[in-house]
Amino acid sequence: MKNNIKVIGAREHNLKNISVSIPKDSLVVITGPSGSGKSSLALDILFVEGKRRYMESLSSYARQFLGIAKKPDFDRIEGLCPAIAIEQKTVGHNPRSTVGTITEVYDYLRVLFARIGVPHCFLCNEKIKVYSSSQISQYVVMVYAHKNVTIAAPIAHQKKGEFKNELADFLAKGFYRFIIDGKLHKISHVGEIEKLDLKKTYKHTIDVLLDSITIDQDDDCLARIQESVQKSFDFTDGLCKITVDDQTTLYSSKRMCLTCQVGFPELEPRFFSFNSPIGACSACDGLGVEYGKEEDMYAMYMGHELKLCRQCQGKRLNKQALSVTVGGKNIFEIGEMSIDDTLDFLRNLKLDNFDSEIALGILKETCQRLEFLVNVGLAYLSLNRTARTLSGGEGQRIRLAKQVGCALSGVLYILDEPSIGLHQRDNDRLIQTLKTLK
């Protein structure tokens, strides 16, 4: 009994006299004429009851959010496993969902770009180089002669939190001027920090004003600017904001183009996400198309096409994110390639010893997930393909590839005609994938 699932006497769906024993750790095919109860047995009984029993094993607190299904009408089921159904239906209508985000391959690519990406200036296309506080200070003195320069340390950029301790620490160090969410605040004592009432669930941008000085060419001015820049680097792990004539430039001790005055923040995965305000195109909010009215958004969710965003040309990301490359390609260009070509590109990526060591684990996981997609007959898709353009069969095979990647055991997988619409060659690959899942 341990190695079988036994179903006895379902009283619904024309299955009153059924008594079936299904072996575990096996690939089982349910066949029969139309209306004989195939889907009823697989989906309405095995899946619903397997899912229901698993949810009932959770705490009462967790169950209140899950909406447990009604128990199917049957006499007895023994040896049932937690069940996952992979059905013939579209993946979803969310305009932000793509093949890459659904399969989580895009998440691995974002980590890859954050770890070994090579940033370029989006104005002159030169590689961003590392500069010291001394070099930046000399540049500021040379370019902004006789102008007033304000130097600030960006301690938070679009981050959630109350920041009470951080502000109190800077106040104790003698810094009392802050720009919080675009407004200047002068804080004289700790009690005023409480009055700010920063919501921990909201994202905030906070800069500490370090110095304000009119530039001249003497050594004292240069030393003073360098000291403030270095303080900002120390406070923020290499970042500094300099404002001249209401124009603010972000400088980095790690990544900046002094020629074009373009600074790059520390690369992180959300920098390459079109679902994050850090990486998304500011004109279209990462949707890739122009919209302005409520009916436009409704049209997108219904699958109707809109005009490409004039700023990003449908690439969804901002200029800085698109100017970072791995192997000579940015993350959008890799996403435009077919899955087959993407796999080939990543397998043949030429890296130096240092980057190769960093990227080894990420590349292994990414290539493995791409292989799963190839094996279920989806090699022709691109990672940028939107979810709402996928057929039911494509959506089902994407979910199947994701489940193979999860590598769970002791689970009952129920598939609804997974081979429909496939070429015989892809059928063979799919069967091999199912054997791997088994």
Same domain, 143 and 258: yes
Best CA proximity match to 121, nearest among 324, 368, 312, 276? 324
Average confidence (pLDDT) over 215-236: 89
Average confidence (pLDDT) over 312-316: 94
Residue-wise DSSP of 368-390: HHHHHHHHTT-TT-BTT-BGGG-
Please report the pLDDT score of residue 131 as a whole number. 74
Best CA proximity match to 340, nearest among 377, 365, 315? 377
Domain range for residue 250? 133-266
How confident is the model over 385-406, as pLDDT tens digits?
A: 998 888 877 887 888 788 777 7
| Average model confidence (pLDDT) across the chain | 85
Q: Which helix (H) or strand (E) holds 102?
A: helix 99-103
Best CA proximity match to 320, nearest among 359, 286, 288, 280? 280
Please report the pLDDT score of residue 37 as a whole number. 79
Task: To the nearest 10°, report the CA torsion of 307, 310, 316, 320.
Answer: 180
Block residue for tokens 């040896």? 79
Task: Indicate which CATH number applies to the domain containing 57.
Answer: 3.40.50.300
Give the whole-angstrom CA distance, residue 340 versus residue 337. Answer: 8
How confident is the model over 324-340, as pLDDT tens digits?
A: 999 999 999 999 999 99
Please report the pLDDT score of residue 333 as a whole number. 97
Distances (CA, A) of 65 to 52, 57, 59, 68, 287: 14, 14, 11, 9, 30
Give the whole-angstrom CA distance, residue 301 versus residue 299. Answer: 6
Asked whether 118 and 171 are in contact (CB, 8 A), the reply is: no
Residue of 254 and 82 predicted with greater confidence: 82
In the three-class reduction of DSSP (H, G, I as helix; E, B as strand; rest coil), residue 220 is classed as helix
Same domain, 75 and 153: no
9 is a domain residue: yes
Asked whether 209 and 170 are in contact (CB, 8 A), the reply is: no
Same domain, 69 and 163: no
Domain boundary among 243, 266, 289: 266
Same domain, 177 and 72: no
Task: Indicate which CATH number applies to the domain containing 159.
Answer: 3.30.190.20
202 is a domain residue: yes
Best CA proximity match to 385, nearest among 87, 101, 111? 101
Question: How many distinct structural domains can be found in the chain?
Answer: 2
Same domain, 262 and 157: yes
| pLDDT range class, residue 34, cuts 50, 70, 90 | confident
Least confident of 138-152, 214-228, 372-386, 393-407: 393-407
pTM for the complete prediction? 0.66
